[in-house]
Amino acid sequence: MNRTTSQSAFNEAQNFIPGGVNSPVRAFKSVGGTPLFINEGNGAYLSDIDGNKYVDFVQSWGPLIFGHRDESIEAAVIEAVKHGLSFGAPTEAETALAKLVVSFFDSIDKVRFVSSGTEAVMSAIRLARGFTNRDNIVKFKGCYHGHSDSLLVEAGSGLATFGTPSSPGVPADFTKHTLLAEYNNIESVKKCFEDSDAIACVIIEPIAGNMGFVPADKEFLHELRKLCTEHGALLIFDEVMSGFRASINGAESITGVTPDLVTLGKVIGGGMPVGAFGGRKEIMNMLSPDGPVYQAGTLSGNPVAMAAGYASLMKLKNNARVMAVLEGRASRLVEGMQAAAKEAGIAMQVDVRGSMFGFFFNENPVKNFEDAASSDAAIFAAFHAGMLEEGFYFACSLYETGFISTAITDAMIEDTINAAAKVFKAIANG
């Protein structure tokens, strides 16, 4: 495939944008090569500026559950734009989407909209601290909750420790209140509670999508819920990625575990920038202007984003069976690729929840970040490059998740499996 125009565009972008990208993973650093510069998405496909066409298993990192340029979402956006891009004042569209979100989640009585997942998580943690009047939080190594200062931490020694900054520009004082635990390891969480009696909340991706795709064990989440209740800490489910992807009714409907707060994004904006956090009334009523915990945003509840999100969620609500169809296709995809990898002598672990899927080139099941990090990054990079050449666009990092949209057909799934078999054979033959 010719990608010379993308290369030229990337060279120019690097002169004006740090790294040539506005989000680091897009730079293809972990897989090598030049990032594709896209000029169009349509249905299941992306087209780059060189004219190459790819079946898209990234779908803008999750939001596009109905594929690119879905007619109903596109029409809702165009109609909203006709009335104005932003008002900085309340609109009925905000209430309509809020009511719709609340209707899906048993754990959410009220919801507040923001402009990104990072903002949603940052605000939810502030609210938890304000509600409990405590300072410390627990997060899990490998779970990504946005780039706010207190969440950019790296592990220290032992099962659990207070975090140290993992990025320059983050003062140590900002992360000293963040304790780190190991995903799917309840003993590490118990250690956190032993180390601190001032834990405001535990935040977790119940279906992790940022260490690769690693769902939490149900038993682990149930024990986590018990610990939080016992110690008076709030449990926050970060479902910015998994919300309306793994299940229409949230991870709580899959696991049977009810969180105190939930953060959302991606699908609830239908492709527009949006985030949200919600929970029980008594917690949410602590937010300004009702309560003392301050949170604000000029573009929060943007009418165009609300219109896109409402159209997206209403389409899901009216076509609830589509989740089973998408899960079936996701399962067929990864199981087919796994069989092809095995035939080529390549070890591959796979998993699926709803329209989310993931895979690791690893001999053993992956349960946490350490397991994920032991996967074969070289094989992943070769697989990614090979699949691009075959016309299939996967996430450009082994620590990301794949997504199925309704625009991806059964025939496309079979074509992907056949292409993967070809790529695996080439990798095995060196």
Catalytic residue (one of 110, 139, 141, 266): 266
By the 8 A CB rule, do 240 and 267 touch?
no
Tens-place pLDDT, residues 8-20: 999 999 999 999 9
By the 8 A CB rule, do 310 and 269 touch?
no
More confident site: 353 or 156: 353
Q: At what angle do helices 377-390 and 410-428 cross, to 10 degrees?
A: 130
Tens-place pLDDT, residues 189-242: 999 999 999 999 999 999 999 999 999 999 999 999 999 999 999 999 999 999
pTM for the predicted model, two decimal places: 0.95
144 is catalytic: yes
Give the helix ranges, DSSP H, for 133-175.
172-175
Q: How is residue 100 annotated by DSSP?
A: H
Tens-place pLDDT, residues 94-145: 999 999 999 999 999 999 999 999 999 999 999 999 999 999 999 999 998 9
CA pair distance 78, 64, nearest whole angstrom? 17
Q: Residue 30: which pLDDT band, with cuts at 50, 70 and 90?
A: confident
What pLDDT sits at residue 154? 64
158 class by beta-carbon count within 10 Å (0-12 exposed, 13-18 middle, 19+ buried): exposed
Contacts of 97 (CB under 8 A, 6+ apart): 113, 268, 306, 309, 310, 313
CA pair distance 34, 143, nearest whole angstrom? 27
Q: At what angle do helices 92-104 and 303-318 cross, to 10 degrees?
A: 40
Is the bond preceding 289 in cis, omega lying within 30 degrees of 0? yes
By the 8 A CB rule, do 279 and 108 touch?
yes
Catalytic residue (one of 238, 260, 351, 371): 238
Number of Cβ atoms within 10 Å of the Cβ of 311 = 23
What pLDDT sits at residue 52? 97
Catalytic residue (one of 45, 144, 393, 399): 144
Tens-place pLDDT, residues 312-361: 999 999 998 999 999 999 999 999 999 999 999 999 999 999 999 999 99
Tens-place pLDDT, residues 234-251: 999 999 999 999 999 999
Least Cα distance to 118 among 232, 212, 23 occurs for 23
Task: Quote the percentage of the chain above a pLDDT of 90.
Answer: 89
Kindly state the tokens that stand for 303.
């009418």
141 is catalytic: no
Task: Please name each of the domains of the chain with its CATH number.
Answer: 4-69+321-428 (3.90.1150.10), 71-318 (3.40.640.10)
In the three-class reduction of DSSP (H, G, I as helix; E, B as strand; rest coil), residue 50 is classed as coil
